[in-house]
Structure 1
Amino acid sequence: MTVVIKVGGARAVDPAGALSDVASLYEDGEDVVLVHGGSTAVDDTLERLGIEPEYVETPSGVVGRFTDEATMEVFEMVFGHLNTQLVAGLQSLGVDAVGLSGVDGKLLHGPRKSAVRVVEDGTKKIRRGDHSGTIKEVNTDLLWSLLDGNYLPVAAPPMAGDDDGEIIPVNTDADRTAAAIAAALDAKLVLLTDVAGVYEDPDDPETLIETVETGEEWQALEAAAEGFMSRKIMAAREALDGGAPEVVVADANADTPVTDAVNGDGTHMFQEAIEEL
């Protein structure tokens, strides 16, 4: 079984348990790819530098980061630091981990989006100067060469953005990065976050949605997801549409979060649900 694990970048997420669990899977001979986020650390660094983080809303209601040139420089710096720290942590646990950005070997490749459609004060506008992109290709040869060599890839944005034939680093969502990799590898995707899964009532952990196997259940899941969780469900659908057999959203702060997620904890979404839509 190949597993792609995404560790979130929220302040409430402690990656220590996930790294220990990843090391156990690696020792058992599983093919594992770790993907990480870091948007909170980017925001913290921007604020220390006196730069106000900017988020915009798309016409479809999705809120995302607007990444201008200065923000992109901070993004590269912070994600490089986080990647190195996670690789060092895994190596301390006996794992031959290799850190990769999406630019390395064009692991994640697609067009740059320099202009984005946004909604400001109820009015649709075009914002230019964005450094973001859409993943169209995943270099699976690179990933499999590492996995076959008993290395564990630790991957993260930025991606290799094609800007009129020139490759430049651009921002892309970490959940969707993990989804693209899982789809390309036909792997199970585990999205670890700071809650136990998707709740029917976002304020009530007792309303955890455990399984999503039908189109009707998927529609209910989408209706229940709010805020940051809606982005994870978007990523989950992209993974399932692309070939991943299963996606799990689960608690990153459990003692053995990946093992627990694989064994049934969290919210489990299956390809069959997408096929019914």
Structure 2
Amino acid sequence: MTVVVKVGGARAVDPEGALADVAQLVADGEDVVVVHGGSTKVDDTLERMGIEPEYVETPSGVVGRFTDEETMEVFEMAFGHLNTQLVAGLQSQGVDAVGLSGVDGKLLAGPRKSAVRVMEDGKRKIKRGDHSGSIKEVNDELLYTLLDGGYTPVAGPPMIGKDDDEWLPVNTDADRSAAAIAGALDATLVLLTDVSGVYADPEDPETLIESVETGDDWNDLQDAAEGFMGRKIMAAEEALSGGAPEVVVADANVDEPISGALEGSGTHVHQTAIETEEHT
């Protein structure tokens, strides 16, 4: 079994337990790919540099970072630092980890989006100068080569975006990066975050949705996913549509968070939920 683990970049997420769990899974003979976020690190770095982060809302209601050229430079710096720290953490656990960005070997590639549609003061507008992209291709051969060689890939944004005839690093969402990789590898995707999963009532942890198997279950899941969780459910759908058999949203801050998720904790979204929904 191949497992893709997305380690969240939120301030409340401690990666230490996940890294120890990756080490145990690798020692047990599992193939693991680690994907990391880092939006909090980017915001902290921008603040130290006196740059105000800018977030925009799309017409569909999704809130995301607007990445101009200056912010993109900070993004590369922050994500590079995080990647190095995670690789070193895994090396300390005895894992032969290799750090990659989506730019390396065109691991994550697609067109650059230099302009985005946004909502401002209730009106739809076009905002130009963005450095972001949509992942259309994953270099799974590169990942298989590393895994077959006994290495554990640790990957994260930026991706490589094509703008006319030029390739350049651009921002992309870490959850969706993990989804693209899981789909390409037909791997189970574990999205680690700072809560136990998706709650039917976002304010009540007692309402954890444990399993999503049908189209109706999927609709309920979408209705329950608010704020940052909405992006994770979008990523789950992309992973399942791409070939991942299962996606688990689970708590990063517990003992053995990945093994626990694979064994039943968290919210388990099965490919049957997407298949059923597509035929209803």
What are the residue-to-residue correspondences of 1:109-258 with 2, within 5 Å?
109-258=109-258
- Which AA in structure 1 matches 2:146? L
In structure 2, how many angstroms separate the alpha carbons of the residues matched to 1:245 and 1:11? 29
- Tell me the SS of whatever aligns to 2:161: strand
1:246 deviation in Å?
A: 0.1
1:49 deviation in Å?
A: 0.6
- Tell me the SS of whatever aligns to 1:154: strand
- Which AA in structure 2 matches 1:213? E
- Tell me the SS of whatever aligns to 2:189: strand
In structure 2, how many angstroms separate the alpha carbons of the residues matched to 1:124 and 1:49? 31
Q: Which residue of 2 aligns with 1:264?
A: 264
In structure 2, how many angstroms separate the alpha carbons of the residues matched to 1:210 and 1:73? 40
Q: Does 1:35 align with 2:32?
A: no
Deviation string for 1:196-216 (max 9, x for gaps)? 000000000000000000000
- State, as a whole percentage, how many aligned pairs show the same letter: 79
1:226 deviation in Å?
A: 0.2
- Which AA in structure 1 matches 2:252? A
Q: Which residue of 2 aligns with 1:55?
A: 55
- Which AA in structure 2 matches 1:73? E
In structure 1, how many angstroms separate the alpha carbons of the residues matched to 2:243 and 2:63? 26
1:165 deviation in Å?
A: 1.5
1:30 deviation in Å?
A: 0.4
- Which AA in structure 1 matches 2:275? E
In structure 2, how many angstroms separate the alpha carbons of the residues matched to 1:63 and 1:165? 30
Q: Which residue of 2 aligns with 1:99?
A: 99
- Which AA in structure 1 matches 2:210? E
In structure 1, how many angstroms separate the alpha carbons of the residues matched to 2:168 and 2:77? 15
- Tell me the SS of whatever aligns to 1:25: helix
Aligned-residue CA RMSD (Å):
0.4
In structure 1, how many angstroms separate the alpha carbons of the residues matched to 2:58 and 2:195? 25
- Tell me the SS of whatever aligns to 1:226: coil
Taking structure 1 as the reference length, the TM-score comes to 1.00
Q: How many residues align?
A: 277
1:274 deviation in Å?
A: 0.3
Taking structure 2 as the reference length, the TM-score comes to 0.99
In structure 2, how many angstroms separate the alpha carbons of the residues matched to 1:262 and 1:192? 12
In structure 1, how many angstroms separate the alpha carbons of the residues matched to 2:148 and 2:169? 27
- Which AA in structure 1 matches 2:17? G
Deviation string for 1:141-165 (max 9, x for gaps)? 1000000000000000000000112
Structure 1 gaps, min length 5: none
In structure 2, how many angstroms separate the alpha carbons of the residues matched to 1:85 and 1:232? 24
In structure 1, how many angstroms separate the alpha carbons of the residues matched to 2:70 and 2:43? 12
